[in-house]
Structure formats: C-alpha cells, structure tokens
Amino acid sequence: MNISHRYRFVFLATSHAASTSIGALLKPYADIAGIDRQLTGPSSPFFHHINAVDCRREMSAWGYDWAQYRHFCVVRNPFDRVVSLYHFSRRFAWHPSMGALTNVRRYVSYRLRSRLSFDDFVLSLNLESRPNLTLKNFICGPNGEELVEDILRFEELSEVLPLYLGSLGLPSGQLVLPRDNVSTGRVGGYRDYYTRASRERVERLFAYEIQRFGYEF
C-alpha cells in the first residue's frame, strides 16, 4: 500500500500480485507506505494489504479526501495466484520487529501449513480467516461498488505499469519493476497442481474476478 499526496495516487496491494515489487518501486514517491499488520496502531494504521474500505476510512480520519486521489491495484489469474499463495505459506522467516511470542506463533502456524498438500490447502481456504483474499472483498464497498478505478492485470504489468505510472506524472522511463518476494519451489505450470476439487473451489471463491476479467483455467 502506498499513498502519494504529490502525485495523488493510492496503490492498494493485492496479495501475491507483485505487491511487494510495486511497493518497493513506489516507495520513493509515497508519503505513506504500508507496514506489517502486527506493527499497525493508531499512529500507523495502514496495513500493507489494507483493503479499499478500510483505507478510505483511515484516510478520512487523517484528513485526506479519498475522492481526490486515483486508486489502483493489480488483479492476477486466481488459479496461478493460489499456487503462489500455497508456496508462500510454506516459507518462514523470523522477524525481530514482531517479538519472540508472535514469531513462535507464526512458526507453529507455518509448521501446520507446511504439511498440507496443495488440494488440502485450497480446500481449507475461507474468507472468514482471509477476508481480503478475493478481489471483491478487497476493492468493493458495502453495496458492491468498486472503489478502485484502475485495475491492472498482473500478466501485462511489464508493459502496462510504466505507462500507467507515467499517466500519474511519475518518471516512468526511470522506473523498472524489481522482482521481490518471488515464489520459490514451483514445479511445472499452475494447472499441474489442481484436481477437480481444488479447481472448483477456486472457481467458487474467486468467481468475481474470473467473470469480471475473463480468466480461465
């Protein structure tokens, strides 16, 4: 998540859709950058993956008019994105800033997740524990209206992102998207991971973006 008052943009960081890379690229131009959820508080409420409704509320509390900014995020083929999410769930890194107790809890959770097969992982996904997982929950208001005007496709970022950032007034010719936080351990294409059960689960969970953007398996 990045907010720039000079360039009047709000970037909302969809998880596992180049959010870390884009956040790093935009940080020099941002007045507010998202932080880890465990580090948020009254003086720093902007979580890295904060959704549009919460971001709008927090901006208003800080005296910023949401309507005066352009808002953008990235959408990714859900079948591919869930494979990335699965491999990320099998990684663990100790974060000193979170404290020992939080890290121990994270490690226990990691150990449990790391034993799941891909199918078990997909079938265990639910929006109660991951409310921001789907694009609909991430960018839509209480009445289902989209609060984000510009949604860039992950699959076209290398071509589209520089042009889009240029339209915001950033020096797009000098901006090169880094490859940060890339999934490791993937074998074959994303289709190789799925059974019928896991495919149907993803189709149900991510029906909004599949229909809205015409994604196919």
Q: What is the pLDDT of residue 41?
A: 87
Mean pLDDT, rounded, of the chain: 87
Nearest one of 189, 191, 163, 187 to 175, comparing CA atoms: 163
Give the tokens for residue 196: 């019928």
Q: Which residues partner with 153 through β-bridges?
A: 75
Torsion of Cα atoms, 64 then 7 then 149 then 63, to 10°: 0
Q: What is the pLDDT of residue 91?
A: 60
Nearest one of 95, 39, 60, 22 to 1, comparing CA atoms: 22
Half-sphere exposure of 116 (CA within 13 A, CB side): 21
Cβ proximity of 26 and 2 under 8 Å: yes
Tens of pLDDT, residue by residue over 31-87, are 999 998 878 888 889 999 999 999 999 999 999 999 999 999 999 999 999 999 998
Judged against a pLDDT cut of 80, whether residue 20 lies above it is answered with: yes
Residues 6+ apart with CB under 8 A from 118: 83, 86, 193, 194, 198
pTM of this structure: 0.85
